[in-house]
Amino acid sequence: MSLIDLLTGNISNQVAEQAENKFGISKTQVIALLAVAAPLIISYLRNKSQDANEAEALNNALDKDHDGSILDDVSQADARQAEGGSILSHIFGGDKSNVENQLSQNTGISIDKVGPILAMLAPVIMGYIGKEKQQNNVGAGGLGDLLGGILGNASNQAQQQQSNPLNDILGSVLGGGNSQSGNPLNDILGSVLGGGNQQKQQGGGGLGDILGGFFGK
């Protein structure tokens, strides 16, 4: 299953329905958040996996806790929210509050709900990575290439299928997320979300503009 299939299929719909019922956020906003958060999380993990110790820790965590079974029973997402929060704290580290602020501004989801919703989404994203790892028989040494391949393939697929707003979002996000330049927060939040002063040279607000159209603003 490609990342695009995860983000546009039944799994994301079911998770979004859970979040909608729990937090009173529209399903559309949750799906848009997932479309930005998944590539961002994968980009951060890819960068971390360049360090051998981080790669080994991620490999062990995927083997132990993220075998992909959550994709067959997404009701686990709600039950594993606390675990998801710990995952995000490890992945984003000191960037966590900045990430949440930027995502809140660009999706219209209030800052007090962005973190908890992301914490629901994180185990699903980790489960997806774990399943891909199993299917490709990848160990710690191959995680960076696996994660880069997930982003690259999704970027190509989104660009080829740009016929709806969600694919426009994915195409923009993955275009930033697939870059090799250091900090994925800058790659995705800076260039794509129009965060801070690093707005796209053409078109101003980047993802903010697309999201505005997506939500019919």
Alpha helices in the chain (DSSP H): 3-8, 10-23, 27-48, 52-65, 76-79, 81-92, 96-107, 111-135, 143-160, 165-177, 184, 207-214
Using DSSP, state whether 4 is helix, strand or coil.
Answer: helix
Q: What is the pLDDT of residue 159?
A: 75
- 9 Rama class: left (phi>0) / alpha (psi -120 to 50) / beta: beta
Question: What are the mean pLDDT values of the chain's consecutive 10-residue runs (217 residues total)?
Answer: 90 94 91 89 92 96 96 94 96 91 86 96 97 97 95 82 69 59 54 38 44 53
Q: What is the pLDDT of residue 195?
A: 39
Q: What is the pLDDT of residue 176?
A: 54
Q: What is the pLDDT of residue 209?
A: 56
Helix axis angle for 143-160 and 27-48, nearest 10°, is 140
Q: Give 200's DSSP letter.
A: B
In terms of pTM, does the model score above 0.85?
Answer: no
For 141, 191, 201, the CA distances from 39, given in Å and listed in that order, are 20, 14, 22
Q: What is the pLDDT of residue 211?
A: 57
Q: What is the pLDDT of residue 210?
A: 54
